[in-house]
Structure 1
Amino acid sequence: MKLGVIGCGKMGTALVAGAVRAGALGADQVIGFDPHPAARDAFATATGSLAAASLKDLAGCDTLLLCTKPQQAAAALSALRESATTEGLLISVAAGLTLEWLGQHAPSGWRHIRCMPNTPALVGEGAAGFACSKNATEADRQTAHDLLGAVGSAHSLAEPLLDAVTGLSGSGPAFVFLMIEALADGGVRSGLPRDIALELAARTLRGAATMVLETGLHPGQLKDQVTSPAGTTIAGIAELEARGLRSALIEAVTAATRRSQELGRS
């Protein structure tokens, strides 16, 4: 495989660096292009891959990773359309670009995969979903899984479900950052220094998430293990339930999913 990366920003760099680090991809198999020389140089340094001087240098690649902003994607793909090989795979992480849109703008005869990664991929803890076009092969599906899985977890889904992925894991980090900030504020209100409260809050959420993933237990079971009769935890949980934390989070994911659907239609 020869992978051409269109857009050498944080996400493109994180995906390639993770794949190279995991052994899923050789640095010599990758060439990246970005209109900003500083971004190209940073990509080459972080991944050990080549930096292209122009989009034409990606013409010989049989796999393209589209990491531009959505509004820049059409121009980038148009520039490649005439010079690209007749068959290949386009993997897009550009938000909101549907498989139908990719089919209309990508080089003729190419297969397409639409991905929704999230920002924790930048630290190797991503959670992504992806959907394949009808003409994509099982090898294409595995390529996307290996690339996204190198920086976290990846799940192959029907395309309509990518809106829910956007609402949950795409927008979810912002919800969690808000929770960390609020927990830290609670610690400060109760007398803790700000820096200590923030570290305790962040490590508490990371530790709790790790327990869910590594034990395989339902979060409710883990919650019950911490909640002793008439103790401090149940007092706090009762307050959260009274103030609607559970329903607020459900509605936040639902609202983000609905907005993703609206953006896709527009």
Structure 2
Amino acid sequence: MLDYELGVIGAGNMATAILRGVIETECLPKNAIVAYDPDAKREQLLALEFGILCAQSLNTPGSCPRVLLSVKPQVMDGVLEAIADKVSDETTVISIAAGITTEHIDRKLGGKGRIVRVMPNTPMLVGSGVSAIAGGPRATPDDVHWVQRLFAASGLTVVMDESMLDAVTGLSGSGPAYLFYLIEAMTEAGVREGIDREIAGMMATQTCIGACKLIGKTGKTPAELRRMVTTPGGTTEAAVNHLDEHKVRDSIAAAISAATERSRELGK
């Protein structure tokens, strides 16, 4: 039997993003990875795109020294029960399921495995993700470092206490959707003002991309950059004043709190 370093259970978008980063950066060779998904079409896509082996059951990936659980929270318990007899005390178990605590995973695995929880986000698909990493029961600093290397292949990684991961879910895990929502709204506003929809969409999207790049390139804070483009009595000031009058900042904070609370609920 071939030896694999990493077993991946679940072949959705996040698993695809992680594997793309890992293979493109040569963090792991493709022949060190084996994957399983109950959807045969997803497995075929993984095999075709990355050239990795896909198993017919989760027994093989579940028996690897490191196991990445890339499944939805609603099916996590079933997966944990299925691999519990495959996991050893030395297995590093990595979960990216929102809201599922390492304590819960530990309980379902019968106190076996070294558990690490990660909260990534979808920009990993283009190598620009953000992943918060927290060590759980029995996880060593080396385990956390290995997981950090794995996710760093697809973007920024931050190691933090697990108690913060629900808030991370609300901030960066769900965060891309907030920006997409903003781009949708900007596009619709442009259309109402008479701009062609396709052009309005391109302009709104590129404006957000450019603004984010400006933060990264200049090292200035968003507040500093906003003040730089806000001329007293000008158009930007009129827009920002309107946003403040309608408490948009408070609404965004409340939305992130709602996502955070939902993450907590998923873990119960």
**TM-score grouping bracket, smaller chain normalisation:** over 0.9
Tell me by how many angstroms 1:76 deviates: 2.1
Equivalent residue, structure 2, for 1:12: 15
Provide, for residues 83-133 of structure 1, a one-character-per-residue CA deviation record: whole Å limited to 9, x for no partner. Answer: 344411000012221110111123753100111111222222211212111
In structure 2, stretches of 5+ residues that fail to align are none
Normalised TM-score (structure 1) = 0.93
Tell me by how many angstroms 1:78 deviates: 2.3
Q: Identify if the C-alpha distance between structure 1 residues 83 and 241 changes in structure 2 by more than 3 Å, giving closer, same or farther.
A: closer
Contact 1:5 1:65 in 2 (8 A): yes
Equivalent residue, structure 2, for 1:208: 211
Contact 2:98 2:119 in 1 (8 A): yes
Equivalent residue, structure 1, for 2:26: 23
Normalised TM-score (structure 2) = 0.93
Q: Does 1:101 align with 2:104?
A: yes
Q: Does 1:187 align with 2:190?
A: yes
| Secondary structure at the counterpart of residue 24 of structure 1 | coil
Tell me by how many angstroms 1:230 deviates: 2.2
Equivalent residue, structure 2, for 1:122: 125
Equivalent residue, structure 2, for 1:249: 252
Equivalent residue, structure 1, for 2:157: 154
Contact 1:82 1:107 in 2 (8 A): no
Q: Does 1:140 align with 2:140?
A: no
| Secondary structure at the counterpart of residue 64 of structure 1 | strand
Following the alignment from structure 2 to structure 1, what is the Cα–Cα distance between the partners of residues 216 and 157? 14
| Secondary structure at the counterpart of residue 86 of structure 2 | coil
Equivalent residue, structure 2, for 1:74: 77
RMSD (Å), alpha carbons = 1.7
Tell me by how many angstroms 1:175 deviates: 1.5
Q: Does 1:234 align with 2:246?
A: no
Q: Does 1:2 align with 2:5?
A: yes
Which stretch of the first structure deviates more once superposed, 11-20 or 76-85?
A: 76-85
Provide, for residues 6-54 of structure 1, a one-character-per-residue CA deviation record: whole Å limited to 9, x for no partner. Answer: 1111111110111111221211110001111111111122222111111
The aligned amino acid for 2:102 is: L
Following the alignment from structure 1 to structure 2, what is the Cα–Cα distance between the partners of residues 259 and 83? 31
Q: Identify if the C-alpha distance between structure 1 residues 171 and 39 changes in structure 2 by more than 3 Å, giving closer, same or farther.
A: same
Q: Identify if the C-alpha distance between structure 1 residues 74 and 212 changes in structure 2 by more than 3 Å, giving closer, same or farther.
A: same
Q: Does 1:43 align with 2:80?
A: no
Following the alignment from structure 1 to structure 2, what is the Cα–Cα distance between the partners of residues 116 and 194? 35
Equivalent residue, structure 2, for 1:91: 94
Contact 1:11 1:67 in 2 (8 A): yes
Provide, for residues 62-99 of structure 1, a one-character-per-residue CA deviation record: whole Å limited to 9, x for no partner. Answer: 00000112232222222222234441100001222111
Provide, for residues 166-220 of structure 1, a one-character-per-residue CA deviation record: whole Å limited to 9, x for no partner. Answer: 1111122221111111111111122110001011111111111121123221111
Following the alignment from structure 2 to structure 1, what is the Cα–Cα distance between the partners of residues 232 and 156? 37
Q: Identify if the C-alpha distance between structure 1 residues 206 and 251 changes in structure 2 by more than 3 Å, giving closer, same or farther.
A: same
| Secondary structure at the counterpart of residue 28 of structure 2 | coil
Contact 2:84 2:109 in 1 (8 A): yes
1:218 pairs with 200, 218, 221, which one?
221
Residue identity (%): 39
In structure 1, stretches of 5+ residues that fail to align are none
Following the alignment from structure 2 to structure 1, what is the Cα–Cα distance between the partners of residues 150 and 220? 28
Which stretch of the first structure deviates more once superposed, 158-167 or 53-62?
A: 53-62
Contact 2:129 2:156 in 1 (8 A): yes
| Secondary structure at the counterpart of residue 240 of structure 1 | helix
Following the alignment from structure 1 to structure 2, what is the Cα–Cα distance between the partners of residues 17 and 156? 22
